[in-house]
Amino acid sequence: MTGTARERLAELLGALAEPAAPSAYRKLGKTDLSVTVDGIGPLRFPVSVEQAGQLRELGRQARFGRGEQTLTDPRVRDTWEIPTDLVHIRWSERFAIVLDRLREELGLPPGHALTPELHSMLLYETGQFFVTHQDSEKDDAMVATLVVTLPSDHTGGELVVEHRGETMEYRGSNVAVSLVAFYADCRHQVLPVKTGHRITLTYNLLLTGESDTTVEESLAAELATCLREHFTTPITPRYGYRPAAPPLRLAYLLDHEYTARGLSWSRLKGADADRAALLRMAAGLADCDVTLALAEIQETWDAYEEDEDWDYRYDEEEDEEAGEADGEYVVQDLIESAITLSHWISPDGDRFEEISLSIADEEVAATTATRDLTPYESQYEGYMGNYGNTLDRWYRRAAVVITPRRLGFATRAEASPLWALDRLAEMIAAGQLDEARQASRSLEPFWRTVVLSGPQSELLGKALIVAGGLEEVETAELLLRPFPLERLTPGHARALAELAARYGDAWTTGLLRGWSASWPQSGYAPDLLEWLPGLPALCASLLQAGAAGIAHRVVELSWTWLASQIRPSLTQPSTGRLEQWLTGMGRPLAGVLTAAARIGTTSVLDEAVSLGRSGGDQTVVLVMAVLRSTGPLPALNRLAIGCAARLRAILDRPRRADDDWSIELPGGCSCELCTLLGAFLRDPGRRTLDWPLAQDRRRHIHSRIDMAELPVSHQTRRQGRPYTLVLTKTRELFERERRARDRHEADLAWLTSSWEGL
């Protein structure tokens, strides 16, 4: 046996007895089942055409589930459902014996029992069917579905069950009761009925009882040896510069799919139960913790459509070896995969938790390769330029997750940071400061990653409290460092104020600067811009908590960043896009200035007045957006007065003459073409220009006109060589100035009526 420890572990588990079948079939005699339907009476087997017609009269179009919806669509499910409250069933004693044999064939532990729960009675007439689907688990204890086909004369209507790429086809009988049990994660379908009618009872099979799975101790000891080696062998990362280190966990992927409500040690299916029991014993021998989790897996494969014509294939043999078939695609090489744990049973076993934890390939073991299972979704992409044609597949599998007990806190914290902060708070409350500090320091390798991918505001609230309780500057900073400032809310004010009182102004100032260091120097920052209008409420809460100094620093940091984003745009050529952007900046800037006014940060208000005096006419657009957002605020009187003065100056300019077609070309390029274009635009008496230009030169002129949003049409007359670019100044030149003047007059009127002293 060779390979890594995790590969040997998977091989040892694969050497167990052959996995149990995902489906099982049995028969009972016609006298072992009695079915009576209100309004019809006892059904006679085989069910006659007459009684089938009576069932049809009682039936309704069967529904099916898709996500959270319950739908009716005969293109997906075409069958009649008989209301179960009309159906009365009596089984003979042999039914219990058959159920136990079905349990054995499905590989469920002897200490359990299958309890049937009637779900529906269905009638399939000629031509009716149900496309491939997967049953939802209607009960936490549901592990399988039982389909009972009543004796009737029919052909077709076969039940086809798929699992791990294999299919089993089951037919009904006209002389016996047919029973097919299959795991709930098996995809299955009912083929169209060709003649006659197919009548079934479907049951949810609930698993009850305590497991008494026998574990081979010598094999568990071998598995424990593999675990010890796995957790002590450094792994060199494929990318980055982190030093080689042993893995933090091992996730052994089970063969079956489970839902969050159905995941339980006592309800594992087939070989999963035996392998999980062995791993639990091995984990104990290796001083490890173990839990059950749900894994979401995405694989991206190099693939091509089966009917694609590839010129580089030379013969049939090479074509056959090119890859495996996947429906209409041929799958070749695995490009990349990603495994994420989405839920798990908490390692202390007391609750089910939603988590999000990415698992590296070096931390995964599996006896059955994921590609041998059936994906719940596939998506084919044509040639994208990087990989060529690709096929994405998504799978769900359960996993036994094993971690060294000595790393229990850190490994669980990586999956559930909220749990980690709650646990740290419990340690602090219990007076276990040293343990809490040591546990906090163990978070450092992954803390930033989990914070930025988690519920940051909720995490910050808990982290502020824990950081104060640690009473250690460096460790407190470690916990708080990854958070961006825009996650600070009024609800955090008191905890932050207490933290500042404990660690001092210098430490708090450094923390706030660190939180704002992640703000982009330029670019799109929607979360931050959405946060800034809430600054007045945040600062009010900080003042109430006695943290005026923090409020001033937050406002100053916010102003410095926002002003750096706005200031360069005030000297750029005015365009509709720029005016729209500046209008959008009005609400965030209003939040900063309102907060500054309420807490008396005069330096910010002074700089805002200076900003309002800079730039071109577009500055008025920004300032008006701010003033309309704040309303008459005395602290912003100087800003309003300056804006009114600029508006009056603009309106005092002489109107454009009716025959003045001059346009100013913004700077940015001084090439020969732009020099000629500028001369044409500035000429007040010239409206059109016919300009023979080659394609790349025409493209340059197009770009200059479009980027500057000039009121000039540009069309190419495709005659002669080179083609002629025809430029025409449009009446939009005058319309824009008229609209701008109307807006300025309305803005000035609003200012003078709303603000005192204007």
* pLDDT digits 0-9 by tens, 733-756: 999 999 999 999 999 999 999 988
CB 113 within 8 A of CB 103: yes
Mean pLDDT confidence for 424-449:
94
Averaged pLDDT for residues 264-283: 89
**Which residue from 51, 61, 54, 66 is spatially nearest to 81, judged by alpha carbons?**
61
Looking at residue 720, what is its pLDDT? Answer: 86
pLDDT given for residue 179 in this prediction: 95
Residue 463 has pLDDT above 90, yes or no: yes
What is the residue type of 406? R
Model confidence at 315, pLDDT cuts 50, 70, 90, reads very low
d(CA 52, CA 455): 56
Which band of pLDDT confidence, cut at 50, 70 and 90, is reported for residue 328? low
| pLDDT surpassing 50 at residue 620 | yes
Distance between CA atoms of residues 458 and 181, nearest Å: 46
Q: Where are the alpha helices (DSSP H) in 446-488?
A: 447-452, 456-470, 473-480
What value does the mean pLDDT take over residues 173-178? 93
Please state the φ and ψ torsions of residue 498, each to the nearest 5 degrees.
-65, -35
Q: How many CA atoms lie within 13 A of 423 on its CB side?
A: 19
pLDDT surpasses 60 at 317: no
The reported pLDDT for the residue numbered 579 is: 93
Pairing state between β 352-359 and 193-196: unpaired
Residues 6+ apart with CB under 8 A from 155: 193, 194, 195, 196
The closest of 111, 102, 114, 136 to 20, measured between CA atoms, is 102
Task: Say yes or no to pLDDT of 261 above 90.
Answer: no
Specify the 3-state DSSP secondary structure of 27: strand
Q: CB within 8 A of 538, min separation 6: which ones?
A: 488, 489, 490, 493, 551, 554, 595
What single DSSP character describes residue 539?
H
pLDDT at position 238 over 60: yes
Bond into 46 cis (ω within 30): yes
Q: What pLDDT does 309 receive?
A: 45
Mean pLDDT, residues 693-715: 93
Residue % of the chain over a pLDDT of 90: 67
Which residues have a Cβ under 8 Å from the Cβ of 344 and sit 6 or more positions away? Answer: 291, 292, 293, 294, 352, 353, 355, 401, 415
> How many residues make up the chain in this entry?
758
Contact 188, 129 (CB under 8 A): no
Amino acid letter for position 673: L
pLDDT at 109 > cutoff 90: no
Q: What are the phi and psi torsion angles at 132 (to 5°)?
A: -60, 130
- For 96: left if phi > 0, alpha if psi spans -120 to 50, otherwise beta; the answer is alpha
**Per-residue model confidence (pLDDT) at position 353:** 82
pLDDT at 332: 74
| Across 313-317, 466-470, 568-572, least confident range | 313-317
According to the model, what pLDDT value does residue 313 have?
36
Residue 324 pLDDT grade (very low, low, confident, very high; cuts 50, 70, 90)? very low
302-319 average pLDDT score: 49
- The DSSP bridge partners found for residue 129 are 78
* Most distant CA atoms of the chain, gap in Å: 105
- Rounded CA gap, 385 and 459, in Å? 40
- Nearest CA among 524, 628, 549 for reference residue 586: 628
Residue 168 confidence class, pLDDT cut points 50, 70, 90: very high
| Structure confidence at residue 240 as a pLDDT band (50, 70, 90) | low
Q: What is the predicted pLDDT for the residue at 163?
A: 81
Question: Is pLDDT above 50 for 316?
Answer: no
Nearest residue to 129 via CA among 178, 183, 71, 73:
73
User: Each residue of 14-23: pLDDT tens digit?
Assistant: 887 666 788 9
pLDDT confidence band for 433 (50 / 70 / 90): very high
Give CA–CA dist 538/553, Å, rounded: 12
Question: Model confidence at 638, in pLDDT bands (50, 70, 90)?
Answer: very high
Strand partners, 28: 177
Residue 93 has pLDDT above 50, yes or no: yes
**In the prediction, which pLDDT does 318 show?**
35
CA distances (Å), origin 53, targets 47, 57, 123, 618, 664? 10, 6, 10, 78, 84
Is residue 133 a contact partner of residue 189, using CB atoms and an 8 Å limit?
yes
CA 622, CA 88: separation in Å to the nearest integer?
A: 75
CB-CB contact of 329 with 371 (8 Å): no
For residues 379-408, average pLDDT:
79
Q: Which amino acid is at 137?
A: E
Mean pLDDT of 292-320: 62
pLDDT in tens, 405-415: 988 898 889 98
Write a three-state SS string for 203-251. Answer: EEEEEEECCCCCCCHHHHHHHHHHHHHHCCCCECCCCCCCCCECCCCEE
Q: Please, are residues 710 and 729 in contact by the beta-carbon 8 Å criterion? A: no
Distance (Å, whole) CA 517 – CA 505: 18
pLDDT at 306: 61
pLDDT in tens, 538-564: 999 999 999 999 999 999 999 999 999
Report the amino acid identity of residue 386.
N
Q: Please give the Cα distance from 23 to 65 (Å, whole number).
A: 22
The C-alpha torsion from 408 through 413 and 415 to 418, rounded to 10°, is 140
Rounded to an integer, what distance in angstroms lies between the CA atom of residue 509 and that of residue 718?
66
Judge whether residue 169 has pLDDT over 90: yes
What is the rounded average pLDDT for all residues in the chain? 88
Provide the pLDDT for residue 166: 81
- Is the pLDDT at 648 greater than 50? The verdict is yes
How far is it, in rounded angstroms, from Cα 387 to Cα 267?
Answer: 41
Percentage of the chain exceeding pLDDT 70: 92
* Residue-level pLDDT at 348: 67
pLDDT at 280: 93
pLDDT band at 376 (very low <50, low <70, confident <90, very high): confident
Residue 709's alpha-carbon distances to 153, 695, 703, in angstroms, are: 77, 21, 10
Residue that is written with structure tokens 């495996």 in the block: 324
Q: pLDDT tens digits, residue range 659-698?
A: 999 999 998 888 999 999 999 999 999 999 999 999 999 9
Q: pLDDT (tens digit, 9 = 90+) per residue, 509-536?
A: 999 999 999 899 876 889 999 999 999 9
Q: Is the pLDDT of residue 199 over 60?
A: yes
* Helices and strands per DSSP (H, E), number in the chain: 24, 30
